[in-house]
Amino acid sequence: MTTESPSAQEGPAAPAALPNPVAASNSGAQVGAQVGGETEIWKLLPVTLQFANVAANSNLNFTFTTVGVSWSLGARSGDSVGFSYNVTPSSTTGDSCIRQIEFNNAVMTIRTGSAVQTSTQAGYSFTLTLFLRVRPGVDYVQGYCTLNNEAVVLATIGSQGAVQWRNGRISAVLNEHELNYRPVSFTVKGARPGNQIDVIVSAKRGLGKVNWSLGPDFAESNGVTLASQQGQIPLTLVSYGVDTLSFVTSQPSGSGASINGSQTLEFFLNAYITWVPHDLNYIYLRTTCNSDISVLAQVNNRQPQIVSQTDTVFTL
């Protein structure tokens, strides 16, 4: 698979993201492969690659040497992100630096362009999402990558914690996924000091039950993450209940005695849900907060959407 983008434009009008070439399925999906006349079930594991300090005009390469592991767009599913590319806020110009991305089986190559850099910018930052296709019985992946020496890649595979990859040899453990756990990421924007935001999860009555969770029960689980790009996390209270997440905002660090004009607070949360029975297909999320506040949620590698103050459907 190959996708190319035009040369990055100068100034703020440069494109911030490439379109998704294809949709893909959720974590734990399975695909069949013919082996000796029988269908062998391979696992599909979602992968997020966070790049930082990537040099312009360079060729990046990721090659797996473990037999039975390859890059994939995932299975077919209408609302899954599949492959995606986005510039991250730490790229100071906000420009796309990618000229070409190509992956085929065990090899992925990325070619960066020569977008305009500032004198203080160490390199480019961006995020890729795609999948690993894993043969049954394979519980690790090894290989190598070619990066500039300053570049760092944080690789998150499934529900595991991120591993750091640099120029040279790379590896990661591939734990089996718990079928009834999914990560849910939230981006909250537009809040002001003293606001309360509640996010409630539920299932349709009679179909099953869903709860917030700290994540799958294994040592390398990614767990719960709470962060803010405004420095200190602007919260005075976080409550992690069975069906409700509650937040109360505070004054951000270093912003003075008050927030004036259009300045607002924002933060990011990565949480988990768990449910019964295993074959539950969808859940509801809703918010209780000021109408000026937006809560963008993404369940695993599904398409993100705004959570409204009435039940909003998210597929599993």
The answer to whether 126 and 80 are in contact (CB under 8 A) is no
Domain ranges for the chain:
2-173, 181-315
CA 120 to chain centre: 27
pTM of the prediction?
Answer: 0.67
Question: Rounded CA gap, 54 and 123, in Å?
Answer: 5
Neighbours of 221 (CB within 10 A): 19
What angle is formed at CA 300 by the lines to CA 157 and CA 297, rounded to 5 degrees? 135
Going by DSSP bridges, is the β-strand pair 282-288/294-299 parallel, antiparallel, or unpaired?
A: unpaired
Of 9 and 275, more confident: 275
Residues forming beta bridges with residue 153, ordered by sequence position = 51, 165
Look up residue 132 and give its amino acid. Answer: L
pLDDT tens, position by position, 218-271: 766 778 888 887 778 899 999 999 999 999 998 765 545 455 556 789 899 989
Question: Rounded CA gap, 316 and 309, in Å?
Answer: 20
Q: What is the pLDDT of residue 123?
A: 81
Which of the given ranges, 48-57, 112-121, 287-296, has the highest pLDDT on average?
Answer: 287-296
| Mean pLDDT, residues 134-153 taken together | 94
Break the chain down into helix, strand, coil percent, rounded to 5: 0, 50, 50
Q: What is the pLDDT of residue 118?
A: 52
Q: What is the dihedral of CA 265, 300, 25, 102, to 10 degrees?
A: 60
Burial class (CB in 10 A: 0-12, 13-18, 19+), 269: buried
* Lowest mean per-residue pLDDT among 54-63, 74-83, 152-161, 203-212: 74-83
In the chain, count of helices (H) and strands (E)?
A: 0, 25
Q: What is the pLDDT of residue 259?
A: 57
| Mean pLDDT, residues 25-45 taken together | 61
Residues forming beta bridges with residue 38, ordered by sequence position = 35
Residues 6+ apart with CB under 8 A from 35: none
Of 179 and 112, more confident: 112
Residues forming beta bridges with residue 163, ordered by sequence position = 155
Tokens 């595979």 -> residue: 157
181-315: CATH topology is: Immunoglobulin-like (2.60.40)
Q: What is the pLDDT of residue 122?
A: 65
CA 303 to chain centre: 11
Question: Rounded CA gap, 86 and 220, in Å?
Answer: 26
Q: What is the pLDDT of residue 142?
A: 97
